[in-house]
Structure 1
Amino acid sequence: MKFLHKTLYILVICFYGVQVFSQDKIEIGEKYTLFSKTLNEEREYWVYLPSNYNDTIYAPEQYPVAYFLDGDRHFHSLTGIHDFLSKGPYASLPQMIMVGVLNTDRARDLTPTQVINKDKNIRSFPTSGGNLKFLSFLEKELIPEIQKKYRTNEYRTLIGHSFGGITVLNALLEKSDLFNAYMAIDPSIWWDDAYILKKAKEKLKSNHFKGKTLYLARADNKQKATNKFTKIYRKDIDEHLQLITQFHEVLKNNTASKLRWGYGFYENEDHGTISLPAEYQGLQFVYEGYQAQVKVVAANPDVLFTQYEEMSKKMGTTIHPSEALIDWIAGYCFKRKMPENAIKLLEKNIELYPKSKNTYLSLAKAYIKNENKNQAKKVLGKGIEVIDDSTKLVEQLKILK
């Protein structure tokens, strides 16, 4: 009895201790609604902003945006993966804005054709077939809304699983210019007698998708047939897997499309568990080559800029190393007694981000460390000419005089 009272006492103390000492909230996003004239209904979407969105040191960035379907289900996994992979000098992803699109009628919005089965033993989808209308909502309403609200650049990714996966593929085939990168995770290619597979065979043969990226993921879905019902289910799964494999073959056989694509087979993952590892590896594939080789770059700064030029060509858009990354590597160069390389990097930072106070201050400080005050003064003077709020630059220049 004494043990019980003592345990309850400890629990009460812990509870109130948490109440007293844990007042700060951890928030990863905001919920919004938008009335869609295209769909004639309110649509909910969730937005995650990267950790440096409101940074006061570096110049305001414009960010790529990842849109993903079944937004509430995948919000925590995708934002968590992004947060983990986009931090620090060894980041393998850029900082991104992430937008989760929630459902109202999933079958309607995420399927390209209507399928109504008269057989009562087969599942029917009476509202299906509204995917092009849904894509129109993304194109004409949601994307412009995000562009208006936030600092975005032109690079957009669409991510979807299952029915969302065929939406991704349909968007690629029907509206390839709407997004730059597409991630289809265990897509339901079986839909309507493999409608998407047939379309891909034609479109990927005749159309050019240069500058576009697709990541296709397939689960293993191993399951032993132990009874009659499992055998029926197994047959459906086998068809599901075979059709994704056939889509993979179409990708391999249509090099003329110029589509950059990757394929992931996830052993021991099923249709329900594949999303997490596929999201992780799919985002890395889309931004393959983004991670800086810090020590190599410190020894030869040109490596960094060549790397990003090559990546830009591959992705079909211009990508630069971030101001913060260049700043960090320059600091590393000073620690390693390579001041000339630090200065070379910081000069490039001014070229890439000419409206940032930080670039001029950092380069001026680098020249001061290198005992070249005259050059530091010139850098600050140049910054004062082009920066609207140059108070800090003026103050630094006064100290040098």
Structure 2
Amino acid sequence: MKALIYAILLLFTFQFTQAQVQYETIDSQKLNDIRQIKVQLPRGYDEDTNKNYPLIVVFDGDYMFEIVAGNVDYYSYWEDMPEAIVVGVNQSKTRSEDTNYSEQSSMPIDTGADFFEFVGMELLPYIEKTYRTENFNVAIGHGETANFINSFLFKASPLFQAYISISPDLATNMKTYLPERLKSFENKLFYYLATSTNDVKFIKEKTEALNLNLTALDNKNVLYNFDVFEGPSHYALPAHAVPKALESIFLVYQPISKKEYRETILKLEGSPVTYLLEKYQTIEDLFGIKKPILVNDFKAIAAAINKSEQYNYYEELGKLARKQYPETMLGNYYMARFYEETNDPKKAMKTYQSAYMLEEIAGLSKDLMLEKSDAIKADFGY
């Protein structure tokens, strides 16, 4: 009986700690029809009413939504990407009509043009009015809808800032029109493209041709990634491509990795603290999110300072840590390290002592502060 009660309580708790998924309908004048959508809100969406979130719109939402929503929830839980609102558009009965395009222009036409207007003039405004969104939108499509999402790039002000195109069934001239459009693109844009060795032959051939053209682009504003997966079929490919796509788009958002530490930070000629500030400023510029600097990222920069023996950077790091975590001993610890390594032991001792009054954090304890202070006192006879 106790085991049964525990299982019920665990299930109850689990339901209320997961991301929230709800089903809605939009009465569309553009489509003259009712369109079903699925909406996943981040965990804790209702707790912080001042927080806004990037928006991820999933076309072919009838089968693609769960793949994307699950990955978004997982990656955001581990802080490898920001929490995001995921919206899936059900197209199980209307896919061909929704993605109808002109053979001449490769742009949406007739029912495809209606759906294009539905997305821009009804769906996105509804989501932005109903939910708290940031100004960073991601479009995800597969097959026909992967071709369709390219159409938004030809607007003067594209509605999406990131595009995940999985095994696109490309329109006749899209492989030349799209690179031509992106060649002079003036805003930051993420574009991810994927196929597989077992993809539909003509789709794979067109996708690889598009990749050649996109790879030849010389535009730093376009952040492009391409993957060819070994093995999956056209229909299995999204399960492989979605996590890789999210990783590539939100790479800068992720905590400092061993690779980033080893290949970038340790090779810096300038200040690693400046690198840290620029990393987080880039996150704010790209995604509209003011992310607090992670404690582990502070530790990575401190490790680089220690390894390179450029101890003067501890002062800059200490001031930043005091600003970010004022109630903790993190900033005082780095400041004390600065004084200790730049031949001012008396200030180092006093700074360690003052850290004792602050909150412990990241393995820094009151005992450690006293040990550091007492060691200096013993060495210099203060």
The whole-number CA distance in structure 2 between the counterparts of 1:174 and 1:154 is: 16
**What residue identity is the alignment partner of 1:210?**
N
The whole-number CA distance in structure 2 between the counterparts of 1:339 and 1:36 is: 58
The answer to whether the 8 Å contact 1:204/1:257 transfers is no
The whole-number CA distance in structure 2 between the counterparts of 1:65 and 1:113 is: 29
The answer to whether the 8 Å contact 1:214/1:262 transfers is yes
The answer to whether the aligner puts 1:210 opposite 2:200 as a matched pair is: no
Match among 123, 148, 151 for residue 167 of structure 1: 148
Aligned pairs (5 A) from 1:2-401:
22-23=11-12, 26=15, 28=19, 29-55=21-47, 60-88=50-78, 91-103=79-91, 104-113=93-102, 130-174=111-155, 177-189=158-170, 191=171, 194-200=172-178, 202-204=180-182, 207-221=184-198, 237-255=200-218, 258-293=221-256, 302-310=274-282, 315=286, 318-320=288-290, 322-323=291-292, 326=294, 341=317, 344-345=320-321, 347=323, 349=324, 363-364=326-327
How far the C-alpha of 1:69 sits from its partner, in A, is 0.5
The answer to whether the 8 Å contact 1:45/1:101 transfers is yes
How far the C-alpha of 1:301 sits from its partner, in A, is 5.1
Asked which structure has the greater RCO (Cα within 8 Å, sep 6+), the reply is: 1
Aligned-pair Cα RMSD in Å: 4.0
TM-score (norm 1): 0.65
The whole-number CA distance in structure 2 between the counterparts of 1:30 and 1:178 is: 24
How far the C-alpha of 1:163 sits from its partner, in A, is 0.8
The answer to whether the 8 Å contact 2:136/2:288 transfers is no
Aligned residues: 311
**What residue identity is the alignment partner of 1:344?**
L
The whole-number CA distance in structure 1 between the counterparts of 2:322 and 2:151 is: 44
Alpha carbons of 1:330 and 1:221: their partners in 2 closer, same or farther (altered >3 Å)? closer
**What residue identity is the alignment partner of 2:211?**
H
Match of 1:214, SS state, is strand
How far the C-alpha of 1:180 sits from its partner, in A, is 0.3
Deviations 1:278-336 (A, max 9, x none): 10001111112211228979x965443221334566x4x5443x24x5478679999xx
The whole-number CA distance in structure 2 between the counterparts of 1:332 and 1:300 is: 10
The answer to whether the 8 Å contact 2:140/2:164 transfers is yes
The whole-number CA distance in structure 2 between the counterparts of 1:294 and 1:345 is: 20
The answer to whether the 8 Å contact 1:219/1:269 transfers is yes
Residue identity over aligned pairs, in percent, reads 21
Runs (4+) off by over 6 Å: 14-21, 294-297, 327-334, 367-373
Alpha carbons of 1:50 and 1:328: their partners in 2 closer, same or farther (altered >3 Å)? farther
Query: 5+ unaligned residues in a row in structure 2: which ranges?
Result: 266-270, 303-313, 334-350, 359-382
Alpha carbons of 1:303 and 1:23: their partners in 2 closer, same or farther (altered >3 Å)? same
Deviations 1:208-267 (A, max 9, x none): 253111101112117xxxxxxxxxxxxxx3222111111112212332594321111111
Query: 5+ unaligned residues in a row in structure 1: which ranges?
Result: 1-13, 116-126, 223-236, 350-361, 377-401
The answer to whether the 8 Å contact 2:138/2:161 transfers is yes
Alpha carbons of 1:249 and 1:143: their partners in 2 closer, same or farther (altered >3 Å)? same
Alpha carbons of 1:45 and 1:112: their partners in 2 closer, same or farther (altered >3 Å)? same
